[in-house]
Structures are given as C-alpha cells and as structure tokens.
C-alpha cells in the first residue's frame, strides 16, 4: 500500500484531496455517480463537489433514496442546489421523499426517469462508442413515446441513444497506482460501465497498492479507464 503524496505521483493519478482530484469540473457539467442510497457512493468526492461550488450540474445515478446522519450522499449534493437535472430510474423514495422530491415539486430540479436496464445499456453503449441500441424494454409504454420503434424477432424495440458524461465519480475497494481497480460486492453494478462512459473518471478508493500488489485476476476496471484516484480516508 502507498501513502498519499503532497502532489500527484509521476503517473499523475493519485491526488491528495477530493478538491484537487476534481480540478477542471465546470458549471453545467454532466456527472455520473456510482453507488446507490448510501451504499458504495463516493462520499468524499460528492462532498468535494459540493465544496468547490460548481452548479447547473446534470447528475446521472441510481437514485437518492436515503440520507444518513454524518454521511454526504447524492441527496445531500442535490440539496445544495448545485444540480439542475437528475437522470435516474429511482430518483427518490416514494414514501419518504427527501430533497429530490422537494426540489422537483418546487420546479427547481428537472427529473428524467429512465428504466434501470435502459440506463445501464445506454451507458454501456456510450462507453463502447456505439451511437445507440434497440431495446425491447419500455416498448408500448410512455417510455417509448417520441422514439423510433423497430420490430426484431417479432418484438417491438425502442431506439435508445448512448449516454456519455463529462465526469464519472466512482467508488472502489482497492486500486493500484496505475488505476487498476477492484470493487466490493455491489460496487460492481454501476462502477464498471460508468468508468467507460465519461471523459474524465475520478475514483475514491479505500487502499492503493503499487503495481503488482493486486492479483490481476481480481481487476474489474482496467487502468486505461481511470484518470484520477483519491483515498477515501
């Protein structure tokens, strides 16, 4: 394991603070955020994003169902008013609501609700350099309104365009200094596809090892997709 240097390492990937790792994030940026409802969220990076004060952000994430005391999550970032639009399959808890529901109902936050599988495929297409994909999910529902439809194997499919973003905020268990990453449990859900679908990827990790310190068979996201690293603690 390596300690965090005062300046980025020679390979330029380890940064001493979240604010330093987020340098260059601009007003109006589109941001992918891995994790969900306090689980596997990049809390340090979300807090850093709140502190640098950029606004008019478009946030793409699973949702903001829970706010935990002492934890800075997606809902807390949205509560700052820095997010103008949220793209999510489950933006807020239907019973407990929270800042997402409050800001949406007041007209201060735009919501684009997408089906979870559709969101995953749109991100995958964005990372693979594919312009769009035809999916059966959502056909003959309001999610297909205004979209191109085509039949495949006797089933109606909906054209969904690829989704890419300016920056992705990720959360991993371990990484090496090159950026090869290993996830813990459900961290495998959104992190791998989001890592491929953004122009800049910043990952918050628990531990950082020198190259060779991670079993290559355990690596889920390869270093080529990771631009910056910051330790969670």
Q: Please check whether the domain covering 18-231 is classified as CATH 3.30.310.80.
A: no
| CA–CA separation, 45 and 167 (whole Å) | 12
Give 37's pLDDT tier (boundaries 50, 70, 90): low
- Domain borders along the chain are 18-231
DSSP, res 93: B
Strands, E, within 108-164: which ranges?
A: 110-113, 132-135, 149-152, 155-161
* Token pair recorded at residue 79: 């509560």
Q: pTM here? A: 0.92
* Token pair recorded at residue 220: 């889920």
Q: Quick one: what percent of the chain has pLDDT higher than 90?
A: 84
Question: Which region among 27-41, 47-61, 78-92, 115-129 has the lowest average model confidence (pLDDT)?
Answer: 27-41
| CA–CA separation, 88 and 44 (whole Å) | 21
Average of pLDDT values for 107-115?
96
Average of pLDDT values for 80-92?
95
| pLDDT tens-place string over residues 157-184 | 999 999 999 999 999 999 999 999 999 9
Average of pLDDT values for 139-155?
96
| CA–CA separation, 136 and 149 (whole Å) | 9
């Amino acid at each position: 394991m390596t300690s965090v240097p005062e300046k980025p390492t020679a390979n330029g990937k380890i940064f001493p603070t979240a604010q330093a790792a987020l340098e260059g994030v601009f007003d109006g940026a589109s941001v992918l955020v891995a994790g969900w409802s306090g689980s596997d969220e990049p809390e340090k990076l979300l807090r850093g994003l709140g502190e640098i004060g950029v606004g008019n952000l478009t946030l793409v994430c699973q949702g903001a169902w829970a706010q935990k005391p002492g934890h800075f999550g997606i809902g807390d970032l949205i509560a700052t008013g820095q997010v103008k639009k949220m793209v999510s399959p489950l933006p807020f808890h239907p019973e407990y609501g929270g800042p997402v529901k409050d800001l949406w109902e007041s007209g201060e936050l735009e919501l684009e609700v997408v089906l979870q599988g559709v969101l995953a495929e749109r991100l995958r297409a964005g990372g693979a350099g594919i312009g769009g994909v035809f999916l059966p999910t959502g056909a003959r529902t309001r999610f297909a309104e205004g979209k191109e439809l085509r039949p495949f194997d006797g089933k109606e499919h909906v054209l969904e365009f690829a989704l890419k973003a300016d920056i992705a905020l990720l959360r991993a268990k371990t990484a090496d200094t090159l950026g090869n990453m290993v996830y813990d449990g459900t961290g495998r859900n959104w992190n791998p596809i989001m890592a491929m679908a953004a122009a800049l990827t910043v990952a918050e990790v628990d531990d950082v090892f020198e190259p060779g310190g991670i079993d290559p068979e355990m690596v889920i996201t390869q270093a080529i997709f990771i631009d910056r690293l910051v330790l969670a603690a």
